[in-house]
């Protein structure tokens, strides 16, 4: 009896998988997004709604994330970014922050294992954000994960931790200033500076353009990935909460009303269909800017 039941579940699973593959085949006739970002909102609300123990929502949310990653990589989306932990989230109670950090540590170890999704799909993992704000064990685990997956080249997973867009922009500006300063110092020491340090040698016009947009962009935490094509924020919230504000100028913002642990194939499909509908318009906007 048990064996028959197992067999039925297996057949059902295979059928669902086949159906998903067929749908992906049909969808790939249209444009496939290169980069999808997720704001995983609603874990705590899910915990309350289903009357679960504290922290359970986040654990179920992690499985939801694994499913979404699977759909993305199977469909051919090369870059996926997730908003795992904002700098603003440090304002939460120390117990909550600690449990989130513990979960992150646990999951980083898990994804580095042999059979994990990261190795199956050849995913390179990048942690984007101000990692100095993290506790040492988490930061070291993150660095280990980045090193271990550095050679993977089929897809990229950017996990934003200790991240906000404003912090990212400010950090990029700072790096650009330091780089420009090093450049000027080098020119000066090689005798070619003509006293640039005192800025006597620059016209006012030149001084206003010492640091260019391209300098700032290459110092962004998210510089390794192209601009996102779709940002999906669950729980029906319509704000970006300081996530990828710089990179989302021509990005389709999709806000399904489901909570993050409830997200599934249906929402993924809907996001892709909507994206394909407006792709031409967004592409045109991108070329104009």
Partner 1 sequence: MEGILKKSKDFILEKFDGATLFQENDVLLDQPLMTLEFASFSDGKEAVAKAANVLFMKYLKSGSTSSYQGEQIFTESQMGEALKTVGGNGPEPDLLLVYGPARCHLGFPAWRIRYTEIQHMGPLKSMKYGSLIKAIYKFTMVQQNYGK
Binding residues for partner 1, rule: CB under 8 A, are 86-92, 164-167, 169-170, 173-174, 176-178, 180-181, 197, 199, 207-213, 215-216, 237-242, 245-246, 248-255, 278, 281-282, 285, 289
Three-class HEC string of the chain: CHHHHHHHHHHHHHHHHHHHHHHHHHHCCCCCCCEEEEECCCHHHHHHHCCCCCCHHHHHHHHHHHHHHHHHHHHCCCEEEEEEEEHHHHHCCHHHHHHHHHHHHHHHHHHCCCCCHHHHCCEEEEEECCHHHCCHHHHHHHHHHHHHCCCCCCEEEEEEEEECHHHHHHHHHHHHHHHHHHHHHHHHHCCCCCCHHHCCCCCHHHHCCCCCHHHHHHCCCCCCCCCCCEEEECCCCCCCCCCCCCCCCCCEEECCCCCHHHCCHHHHHHHHHHHHHHHHHHHHHHHHC
- Residues with Cβ within 8 Å of 224's Cβ and at least 6 positions away in sequence, in order, are 126, 156, 158
- Least Å distance, CB 125 to partner 1, is 23
- Least Å distance, CB 92 to partner 1, is 6
- Active site positions, annotated: 41
Residue closer to partner 1 by CB (options 108, 251) is 251
> Could you tell me which of 211, 272, 223, 250 has the C-alpha nearest to residue 71?
272
- Least Å distance, CB 264 to partner 1, is 21
Q: Are 112 and 141 in contact (CB under 8 A)?
A: no
Query: What is the rounded distance in angstroms from the CA atom of residue 126 to the CA atom of residue 85?
Result: 14
- Least Å distance, CB 178 to partner 1, is 7
Residue closer to partner 1 by CB (options 2, 200) is 200
Largest Cα separation within the chain, whole Å, is 88
Residue closer to partner 1 by CB (options 100, 123) is 100
Residue closer to partner 1 by CB (options 24, 254) is 254
- Least Å distance, CB 243 to partner 1, is 9
- Least Å distance, CB 37 to partner 1, is 13
Residue closer to partner 1 by CB (options 70, 171) is 171
Residue closer to partner 1 by CB (options 61, 73) is 61
């Amino acid at each position: 009896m048990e064996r028959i039941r197992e067999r039925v579940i297996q057949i059902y699973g295979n059928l669902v998988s086949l159906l998903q593959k067929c749908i992906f085949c049909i969808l790939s006739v249209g444009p496939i997004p290169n980069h999808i970002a997720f704001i995983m909102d609603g874990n705590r609300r899910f915990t309350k709604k289903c009357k679960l123990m504290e922290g359970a929502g986040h654990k179920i949310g992690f499985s939801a994330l694994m499913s979404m990653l699977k759909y993305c990589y199977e469909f051919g989306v090369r870059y996926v970014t997730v908003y795992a932990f904002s700098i603003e989230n440090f304002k939460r109670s120390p117990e909550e922050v600690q449990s989130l950090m513990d979960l992150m540590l646990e999951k980083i170890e898990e994804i580095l294992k042999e059979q994990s999704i990261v190795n199956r799909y050849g995913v390179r993992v990048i942690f984007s954000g101000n990692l100095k704000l993290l506790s040492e064990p988490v930061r070291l685990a993150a660095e280990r994960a980045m090193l271990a997956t550095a050679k993977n080249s089929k897809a990229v997973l950017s996990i934003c931790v200790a991240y906000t867009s404003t912090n990212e922009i400010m950090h990029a500006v700072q790096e650009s200033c330091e780089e420009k300063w090093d450049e000027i110092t080098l020119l000066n020491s090689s005798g070619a500076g003509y006293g640039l340090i005192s800025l006597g040698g620059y016209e006012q016009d030149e001084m206003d353009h010492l640091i260019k947009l391209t300098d700032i962009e290459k110092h962004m935490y998210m510089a390794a990935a192209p601009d996102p094509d779709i940002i999906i924020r669950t729980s029906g919230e319509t704000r970006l909460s300081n996530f990828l504000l710089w990179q989302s100028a021509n990005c389709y913002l999709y806000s399904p009303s489901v909570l993050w642990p409830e997200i599934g194939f249906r929402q993924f499909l809907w996001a892709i269909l909507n994206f394909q509908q407006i792709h031409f318009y967004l592409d045109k906007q991108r070329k104009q800017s």
